[in-house]
Amino acid sequence: MSKIEIIPLGGIGEFGMNCMGIRYGGEMIVVDAGMGFPEETPFGVDISIPNFDFLEEYRDDLTAIILTHGHEDHIGALPYILKKFNVPVYSSRFTLALCERRLEEYDMLDDVLMHRVEAGDRVSVGGFDIEFIHASHSLVECFSLAIHTPAGTLIHTGDYKIDDTPVIGKPYDLKMLQRIGDEGVLALLCDSTNATVAGRTPSEQAVIPAFEEIFEESEGRLFVSTFSSSMHRLQIVFDVAHEFGRRVCVLGRSMQRNVEIASDHGLLKIPRGCMATLGESRALDDDEICYLVTGSQGEMRAALWGLATGTYKGLEISKGDTVVLSARIIPGNEKNISRLIGHLYKRGANIIEEKRRLVHVSGHASQEDIKIMVETAQPKFVVPIHGEYRMLFRQKEFIKNHVAGYADEDIILIENGEVLELDEYGARIIEKHDLYKTFIDEESLEEIEYDIIRERKKLAYGGMISLVVTVDRKKHTLVGEPQITLNGVAGLDMTNGFAAAARSAVAEAIDEMKPAQIADRSVFKENLRIHLKRYVQKELSGKPVIVTTVVEV
């Protein structure tokens, strides 16, 4: 019997960039193709995606891409993987609608085959038989996946929580999960994002009382900022605004796009006359308007930042306004959000966040939700996915201590790039690949090589030394003195004797070189760089980037 291989390309040990290859019998599907927000942001990159070059060795095996739901950390890298491997895409109508907008930006929409599926469908994709299980989450039309193979069934939870009373749609389909679990599940690949949180994750309905209180108490303008994909939250804002006689003006490109798509598909029910354009909102009294805006994470390009700094289309937040931050803080965004809140306080706004009122609930399973998932699916093995390593570890410890029948060897922790092999006899990591991230410039949407980011880091931390030497084209001898320029190099300057000494050291090195070494310009430049590098390292502990230029006369 063949074995199943699970190969995570991203999303394990980190937030975002969720992407996983699942291989059986010479065929592979990819579950999700997400983007992330890299630590390298100060070095001029906005987005990170998995390095899909890794999949080149599996090119002939790739059968399809299956998308669990429409969050950017699950679909944001779709254009980049499809550029390299144009295979069919399967997902819900809403997720595909979001993907279509993104593919249009890349002029790729007409070249991609997209299959719409619904919860409860069972689809054959190559050698895989996939069932789509309705999952409750902060978005709509989300799936968990039951991936059937002759070697066994995998359940990939996607992002989920066990919400018994969602605002939009039905609760998680535990009956379908139970039926699949009774048939036998080899492994459960389970979301770990909230594995450190005790109890059950509250229903999306839980925030309604706090919003009703805020709308009732606020006399000035209301600004509500949340994730543009949080459809349940958007529906609550529209409903409560209508209840309290306020119209809603939607600001921010992604918010406007998602509201339009969800409304067109009948997923978002907007009361008649509730929407207002930006122009119409200006004519309304302060207690008649609510702005629904992007920017809850302090993004400088988002609407809320512009409103807080007075740079958004002539509209700004002022004294008497109330700003509701209805979203969790994504790790890494703390500084940006702190700066945003500072700007809002300077303008005299009243700020309400989840620490003060219940204006946000998570879309991810907490510990008791995870217990329900494991007990219902009844897998032989559990593989924690989605989250930092501490979260994966905490899920393992929780299941081991609170779910009967699971020992240490039944819960397997893996990392990006590892190949986990599964069959009825056991689970084992058989390979480990070093996977680098690919970085994206959000302005140009172009990929930035890892080596370029590494060079930018060096420049940021060590500065740069520029060396220019002039040589005689025919004699291959030095003409004049080498010229040295320092940029951002700590501990050295042009007046403390370093420059003169360095020029002398370079000149001496050239004198020792043979004409043939100088004639080969690439060899000559590298020799100069190495000689100057050795001299610099004697003078300081840093490692500046050294750029050599050879001028011929």
Categorise residue 148: left if φ over 0, alpha if ψ from -120 to 50, beta otherwise. beta
Higher pLDDT, 451 or 204: 204
What would the pLDDT profile of 489-505 be if each residue is shown by its tens digit?
776 666 666 777 777 87
- Is a pLDDT exceeding 90 seen at residue 537? no
The predicted structure's pLDDT at residue 24: 96
Nearest to 292 by CA among 227, 216, 341: 227
Angle at 191 between CA 189 and CA 195, to 5 degrees: 125
- Specify the pLDDT at position 462: 77
Name the burial class of residue 358, with classes exposed (0-12), middle (13-18) and buried (19+) by CB atoms within 10 angstroms of its CB. middle
pLDDT for the residue numbered 331: 74
**pLDDT averaged over every residue in the chain:** 91
pLDDT digits (tens, 9 = 90+) for 287-315: 999 999 999 999 988 999 999 999 999 99
**Are β-strands 289-293 and 222-225 bridged in parallel, bridged antiparallel, or unpaired?**
parallel
Q: How far from chain centre, in Å, is Cα 348? A: 33
Domains of the chain: residue spans and CATH: 4-200+362-448 (3.60.15.10), 204-353 (3.40.50.10710), 463-552 (3.10.20.580)
Q: What is the mean pLDDT of residues 226-250?
A: 97
pLDDT band at 37 (very low <50, low <70, confident <90, very high): confident
Q: Which of 103-107, 141-145, 203-207, 480-484 comes out lowest in average pLDDT?
A: 480-484
The Cα 425–Cα 428 span in angstroms is 10
- The residue-averaged pLDDT of 436-453 equals 75
| Interval 218-225 mean pLDDT | 97
Under 8 Å between Cβ of 441 and 448: yes
Q: What is the mean pLDDT of residues 427-436?
A: 92
Using the predicted structure, report yes or no on whether residue 532 has a pLDDT greater than 90. no
User: Read out DSSP for 50-111?
Assistant: --GGGGGGGTTTEEEEE-S---HHHHTTHHHHHHH----EEE-HHHHHHHHHHHHHTT-GGG
Q: What is the pLDDT of residue 38?
A: 67
What global pTM score does this model have? 0.86
pLDDT at 408 over 80: yes
Mean pLDDT confidence for 67-74 = 96
Q: Residues of 327-338 as b/e, b for ≥16 C-beta within 10 angstroms? A: bbbbeebeebbe
pLDDT of res. 239: 98
Average of pLDDT values for 389-416?
A: 97
